[in-house]
Amino acid sequence: MDSTPDIESVIEYLKNLQINICDQFNSVEPVQDFRVDSWEHEQGGGGITRVIQNGQYLEKGGVNFSHVRGDQLPASASSHRQSIAGLPFEATGISLVLHPVNPFVPTCHMNVRFLIAGKNPEQATWWFGGGYDLTPYYGFEEDCVHWHTTAKSACSPFGDDIYPQFKKQCDEYFYLEHRKEARGIGGIFFDDFNQGGFLHSFALMKSVGDSFLKAYMPIFERRKDLAWDSSHRDFQTYRRGRYVEFNLVYDRGTLFGLQSGGRIESILMSLPPHVQWKYQWESVSGSEEKRLTEYYLTARDWLS
């Protein structure tokens, strides 16, 4: 079992993944390309932020690469691992959020990351994390099935128990406790993963990262040109409020970025440009808007 971490190989993979994802969306977005913005971290390292705004299909999207170092691991990463609290750390990852224009195209999120804590690499504590989840505003069952089928295929080479475990963790993590409501239809989510040594764990992370475009692009292509009106847009911007609430209240990645002194614009690039909150608003019984919360935003086995 190979347990020696090689962060440089992770960094190389992540940079290439960022480029591949942005190139794919640049090829189908006729109005804008992703803007490339490099930055440096005050304690070492830095990142490359790629952001698109006001496209024909993407209202706002960001694909962030970061590689940061610090003298003390932030509380958001060490609260459940007291043995490494206060240790120096090095972290790298890709974080992606896409907010499409069309209300029939779901918002999506993907993240893959690696963190190592300790002064001696050979004795350090390290782990991988990541996953992806889908947040529709109008539900389509075939999209949900495709999303979870692709996620399961990415996990299957690593054991039959991986997808069910990661799906359950995703359903539990992307949940707004204060509203008793799921953020979306889930997907897969994992953290603190170091099973089978570095190469095995790295291979799993790469399988998840490489499967993202396979999971999302067919849905994006199917829905991006569907006709919509102002009522659909109104519901979309209302439901985006739930996305903002989760990212600012619960999201560990947001907290880690803020606590580690990350670049604020890159950390908050996940927030949509247009969003609204309505006081005690209720969707009409029997409507597609009502069906979203009653059927789609409930934890279920989409592959049964």
Q: What are phi and psi of 226, to 5 degrees?
A: -65, 145
- Catalytic, 178? Answer no
Chain length of the chain: 304
Apex 70 CA angle, 68 and 71, nearest 5? 165
- C-alpha to C-alpha distance for 272 and 224, rounded to whole angstroms: 17
Q: Which amino acid is at 20?
A: N
Spatial distance between the Cα atoms of 71 and 52, rounded to a whole number of angstroms: 33
Catalytic residue, candidates 41, 80, 99, 109:
109
For 139-164, b/e burial (b = at least 16 CB within 10 A) is bbeebbebbbebbbebbeebeeebbe
Beta bridge partners of 129: 113
Q: Strands of the chain (E only): list them.
A: 35-40, 45-53, 58-70, 89-100, 107-117, 125-135, 175-176, 181-182, 186-193
Please give the radius of gyration of the chain, using alpha carbons only, rounded to the nearest integer: 19
Where b means 16+ CB within 10 Å and e means fewer, 245-275 reads bbbeebbebbbbbeebebbeebbbbbbbeeb
The catalytic residues are 109
